């Protein structure tokens, strides 16, 4: 794990926080808070930018410790143990606790909220040039000393002496280079100890799996986790979404594995542990060029075929008992593979879309024939929800589609697995298992 150094921060007292007016929010119905002096400076900055045709919106600002813990644990499930910390601070270590930091978006580009693509917007360009005039600075620029992933959307206020001191302690700046090195060493040790305690208090997933790997046709080393089936049970291959990793499926994998199913989850090319080529080159998904079936996204379908070959040759799995599924773009990839491979008995698709990165579903839908398909969506996840309704209509009853509409707001993909506790499977997970048991008879 790369060592990242999140600094501890105390939560701002409620009395110091004020509500941000809805006109400055991405979602005007939300109650978003920040400190009064921060809001005043932010409004002045917004007014200046608006005169130049640029509009910012606040996506997120103050967070409570409990909210940060929820986000961090969700991140651990999505990105994998030890990786969420590259993007998310554990509770007690987030700048959001202070009421001095916020995540900004470009009003005209909601698709880039909390995404590296925010760097390409007019809002970021303006901030990069003029935010310092209003006493704001980018918290985590590229190659920052804390080793936290670059976040072009995350800014903090340093316009008061207390705020500046909080983020730039004078003691550190007065130290000699030797003393700074010693201080950094102590700080790293403290960070490691703090993270160790955090993970002890939030147990890791069970390790009833085998680490496996196979090579793609163009040289990626694809890394996965294999949960062996009991007897002649069905095996599932489950694919994650863009920017996620195999571990987003791990809790579900363990749940169905307890019922005897085999499961293979792997990091798709350019993600997680599958960013290395046998040549020694490293390629991460933000560097993928183009979209469509001829792009790296399309080649993920070929990678899935190789995953099936790997299970057949190395784990003696019957191809007619290998089910494919996925979340988001992983669902689209699994679907297209299933249409092209008649041995696949059924498919499980969370938040599938008509088109993700040029990987379509509607053009081949009827090719699935009589094989069952499970679709799960949240109604406020607008594109996935509308896609699901369209696919059901397009099937015209010719494909046995089971549609689960989960009233979980805008939850996307495995975010619909809303567990009350780490040990208790969600309602959707139980429904999927019951559906598998029914159609697999």
Mean model confidence pLDDT for the chain: 87
Total structural domains in the chain?
2
Tell me the pLDDT band of 162, cut-offs 50, 70 and 90. Answer: confident
106 and 47 in one domain?
Answer: yes
- Torsion of the alpha carbons at 49, 103, 78 and 436, rounded to the nearest 10: -70
168 and 245 in one domain?
Answer: no
Q: With DSSP H G I counted as helix, E B as strand and the rest as coil, what are the percentages for the chain, rounded to 5?
A: 45, 20, 40
* Position with higher pLDDT, 19 vs 422: 19
64 and 135 in one domain?
Answer: yes
In a domain, 225, yes or no: yes
* Residue 405: φ, ψ to 5°: -100, 110
For 87, the 3-state DSSP assignment is coil
Answer yes or no: is pLDDT of 170 > 60.
Answer: no
201, 233, 263 — which closes off a domain? 201
197 and 223 in one domain?
Answer: no
The answer for residues whose C-beta is within 8 angstroms of residue 198's C-beta and 6 or more apart is: 90
Neighbours of 215 (CB within 10 A): 14
Query: Average pLDDT, stretch 322-345?
Result: 97
- Percent of the chain residues past pLDDT 90, beyond the cut: 64
235 and 364 in one domain?
Answer: yes
Tell me the pLDDT band of 318, cut-offs 50, 70 and 90. Answer: very high
Query: What is residue 71's predicted lDDT score, i.e. its pLDDT?
Result: 85
Q: Give the whole-angstrom CA distance, residue 74 versus residue 80.
A: 10
Query: What is residue 81's predicted lDDT score, i.e. its pLDDT?
Result: 65
130 and 66 in one domain?
Answer: yes
* Position with higher pLDDT, 226 vs 187: 226
Query: What is residue 206's predicted lDDT score, i.e. its pLDDT?
Result: 41
Tell me the pLDDT band of 67, cut-offs 50, 70 and 90. Answer: confident
Residue 196, classified by CB atoms within 10 Å of its CB into exposed (0-12), middle (13-18) or buried (19+), is exposed
In a domain, 8, yes or no: no
Query: What is residue 441's predicted lDDT score, i.e. its pLDDT?
Result: 78
Tell me the pLDDT band of 10, cut-offs 50, 70 and 90. Answer: confident
Q: Give the whole-angstrom CA distance, residue 123 versus residue 56.
A: 6
Whether the CB-CB separation of 254 and 247 falls below 8 Å is answered with no
Whole-model pTM? 0.58
- Percent of the chain residues past pLDDT 70, beyond the cut: 88
Q: Give the whole-angstrom CA distance, residue 149 versus residue 140.
A: 7
Query: What is residue 105's predicted lDDT score, i.e. its pLDDT?
Result: 95
The answer for residues whose C-beta is within 8 angstroms of residue 181's C-beta and 6 or more apart is: none
Whether the CB-CB separation of 292 and 328 falls below 8 Å is answered with no
At residue 315's C-alpha, the angle toward residues 314 and 320, to 5°, is: 110
Query: What is residue 178's predicted lDDT score, i.e. its pLDDT?
Result: 47
177 and 28 in one domain?
Answer: yes
pLDDT tens-digit readout, 69-119: 888 888 777 766 666 776 788 888 899 999 999 999 999 999 889 888 899
Query: Average pLDDT, stretch 149-153?
Result: 89
CA atoms within 13 A on the CB side of 90: 19
Q: What is the CATH classification number for the domain harbouring 318?
A: 3.40.50.1820
Query: Average pLDDT, stretch 182-193?
Result: 52
97 and 67 in one domain?
Answer: yes
Q: What is the DSSP letter of 376?
A: E
How many angstroms from the chain centroid is the CA of residue 270?
Answer: 14
Of 341, 330, 389, the C-alpha closest to 364 is 341
* Position with higher pLDDT, 5 vs 53: 53
Query: What is residue 205's predicted lDDT score, i.e. its pLDDT?
Result: 36
Tell me the pLDDT band of 46, cut-offs 50, 70 and 90. Answer: very high
DSSP string, 393-413: HHHTTSS-EEEEE--STT--G
Q: What is the CATH classification number for the domain harbouring 47?
A: 3.30.1380.10
Of 154, 148, 13, the C-alpha closest to 96 is 154
Whether the CB-CB separation of 285 and 242 falls below 8 Å is answered with yes
307 and 417 in one domain?
Answer: yes
For 322, the 3-state DSSP assignment is strand
Q: Give the whole-angstrom CA distance, residue 93 versus residue 114.
A: 19
179, 201, 223 — which closes off a domain? 201
Residue 155, classified by CB atoms within 10 Å of its CB into exposed (0-12), middle (13-18) or buried (19+), is buried
In a domain, 393, yes or no: yes
Query: Average pLDDT, stretch 331-345?
Result: 97
Structural domain harbouring 179: 14-201
Query: What is residue 190's predicted lDDT score, i.e. its pLDDT?
Result: 52
């Amino acid at each position: 794990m790369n060592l990242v150094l999140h600094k501890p921060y105390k939560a701002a007292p409620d009395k110091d926080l004020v509500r941000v007016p809805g006109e400055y929010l991405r979602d005007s119905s939300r109650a978003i808070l920040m400190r009064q002096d921060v809001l005043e400076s932010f409004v002045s900055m917004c007014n200046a930018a608006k005169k130049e045709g640029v509009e910012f919106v606040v996506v997120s600002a103050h967070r409570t410790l409990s909210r940060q813990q929820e986000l961090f644990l969700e991140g651990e499930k999505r990105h994998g143990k030890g990786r969420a910390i590259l993007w998310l601070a554990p509770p007690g270590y987030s700048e959001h606790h202070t009421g001095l930091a916020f995540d900004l978006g470009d009003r005209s580009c909601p698709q880039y909220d909390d995404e590296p693509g925010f760097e390409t917007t007019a809002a970021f360009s303006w901030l990069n040039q003029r935010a310092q005039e209003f006493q704001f600075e980018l918290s985590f620029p590229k190659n920052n000393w804390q080793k936290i992933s670059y976040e072009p959307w995350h800014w903090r206020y340093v316009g008061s002496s207390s705020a500046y001191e909080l983020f730039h302690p004078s003691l550190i700046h007065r130290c000699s280079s030797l003393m700074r090195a010693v201080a950094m060493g102590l700080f790293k040790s403290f960070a490691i100890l703090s993270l160790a305690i955090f993970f002890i208090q939030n147990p890791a997933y069970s390790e009833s799996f085998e680490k496996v790997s196979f090579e793609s046709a163009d040289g990626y080393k694809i890394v996965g986790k294999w949960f062996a089936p009991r007897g002649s049970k069905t095996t599932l291959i489950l694919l994650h979404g863009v920017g996620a990793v195999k571990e987003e499926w791990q809790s579900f994998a363990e749940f169905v594995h307890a019922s005897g199913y085999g499961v293979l989850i792997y990091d798709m090319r350019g993600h997680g542990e599958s960013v290395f080529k046998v040549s020694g080159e490293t390629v991460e998904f933000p560097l993928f060029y183009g979209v469509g079936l001829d792009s790296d996204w399309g080649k993920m379908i070929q990678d899935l075929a190789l995953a099936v070959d790997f299970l057949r040759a190395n784990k003696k799995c019957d191809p007619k008992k290998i089910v494919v599924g996925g979340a988001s773009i992983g669902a689209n990839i699994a679907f297209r593979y299933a249409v092209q491979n008649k041995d696949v008995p059924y498919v499980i698709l969370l938040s599938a879309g008509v088109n993700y990165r040029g990987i379509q579903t509607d053009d081949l839908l009827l090719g699935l024939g009589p094989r069952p398909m499970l679709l799960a969506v949240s109604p406020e996840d607008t594109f996935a929800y509308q896609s699901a309704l369209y696919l059901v209509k397009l099937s015209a009853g010719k494909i046995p589609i089971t549609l689960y509409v989960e009233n979980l707001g805008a939850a996307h993909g495995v975010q619909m697995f809303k567990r009350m506790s780490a040990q208790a499977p969600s309602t959707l997970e139980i429904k999927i298992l019951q559906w598998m048991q029914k159609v697999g008879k």
